[in-house]
Amino acid sequence: MISSVLTTRHWLSIRIRVGCVIIFAIGSLLPPYIPKSALALGQPNSAEKQFLLVEDGFLMKSSMLTDYGARRAYTTGRIHIVKDGENLEKLANRYSISTDTIRWANDIGKNDPIHPEDEIVILPVDGVLHTVKRGQTLSRIAQLYQIDSGEILKQNSLESEFILAGQDLIIPDASPIIGEPTMVASVEAPVAAVTTSNEDRAPKQPDPEPEAAVVHTASEIVMADRTHGVLQKPCSDECFITQYYHGSHFALDLQERGGGNIYASEAGTVIRADYGWNGGYGNVIEIDHGNDLITLYAHNKKLNVKVGDRVSRGTKIADMGNTGLVYGKTGIHTHFEVRIKGVKKNPLLYIE
């Protein structure tokens, strides 16, 4: 009796062991079970998703790529997907920012509409996005927008003033440096008194006002001469600085041996193009770029534009010369001024 029980237990133990071995063998051949929910990546609501405002320069960091197509860093913003019936005013009210801030961040013109499914960058505060150019520092950027550098540090959560070329910074309560240029009205010639016959008494339609001429010469600037600062350098890559901005010289003097081309620093409207002495400026050109930004180019040899012409960034507007108050043949250079609201600023801040 006891022998029979022991035999039964022995065979039962063997069967259990064999079963475990079989189960282990089968389990080793099958892939592990993982719940489907653990494999699926969550799809964020694109209307509410956050993005990081990044440098795109010579030093790179890993960062999120948004549908907006830009890598950005240091500051949180938002991408809004436009829905039916929405406009800039509604978006501005929703996010408590101005319509101008939305337009500036998305390069939307004053009369440009938005459409459903458009992706709109929404900044957390009123202001503009500034892309850092090579050689720019935080203090120089602050001078550009006439704001305290501490405000930029705070808004962009920067721990120091170290910034990288290509990095986007939010400049709070600022407006774009360059805006819509002023349109210069043409002066109509006085109408002479004439006698009329019966055939001439019928009213005549007035002649249409001529539009400002557009000078299409921007293609003349060669690739080597193109610069990527806020403003285009007004002369070639070979020109060099002979006098910097200082307390008694509110401009930048740039010289090229033997002379060279003078380029418009940005798109705008020519508001002055005068030959002569002009207070020592010599043959001088002024261009209005909008937002109270005006650039001046003095001592030119020949002027290629006239008042009312609209020019593009890099348009050849003159030949470098030594007219006005200069010193002999060695005085061939361009005297370059940048004025904001009538105040002469350091041009280096804008062309670097």
pLDDT tens series, the chain, 352 aa: 556 666 777 777 787 888 887 887 777 776 665 555 444 444 444 344 434 443 333 333 333 333 333 334 335 678 899 999 999 999 999 999 999 999 988 988 888 889 999 999 999 999 988 888 877 888 888 888 888 989 999 999 888 888 888 888 999 988 887 766 555 544 443 433 333 344 444 444 444 444 444 444 455 677 778 888 889 999 998 899 999 999 889 999 999 988 899 999 999 999 999 999 999 999 999 999 988 899 999 999 999 999 999 999 999 999 999 999 987 656 899 999 999 889 999 999 888 7
Q: Which of 225, 251, 197 is nearest to 315 (CA)?
A: 225
Query: What region, left, alpha or beta, does residue 140 occupy, with left being phi > 0 and alpha being psi -120 to 50 degrees?
Result: alpha
What is the pLDDT, as a whole number, of residue 71? 35
What is the pLDDT, as a whole number, of residue 161? 84
SS3 20: helix
Q: Containing H/E element for 37?
A: helix 36-39
Paired strand residues for 53: none
Contact predicate 290/177, CB 8 Å: no
Pairwise CA distance, residues 52 & 58, whole Å: 18
Residue 223: is it exposed, middle or buried by C-beta count within 10 angstroms (0-12/13-18/19+)? exposed
Contact predicate 156/75, CB 8 Å: yes
Longest dimension (CA), the chain: 148
Q: Which two tokens stand for residue 105?
A: 């961040």
Pairwise CA distance, residues 59 & 281, whole Å: 43
Q: pTM of the predicted model, to two decimals?
A: 0.56
How would you classify the pairing of strands 240-243 and 268-274? unpaired
DSSP 246: B
DSSP 116: T
CB hemisphere CA count around 29 (13 angstroms): 5
> Any idea what the Cα angle at residue 58 is, between residues 229 and 67, rounded to 5°?
85
Which runs of consecutive H residues, i.e. helices, occur in 41-194?
88-95, 99-106, 138-145, 149-155
What is the pLDDT, as a whole number, of residue 330? 61
Domains of the chain: 50-172 (3.10.350.10), 218-351 (2.70.70.10)
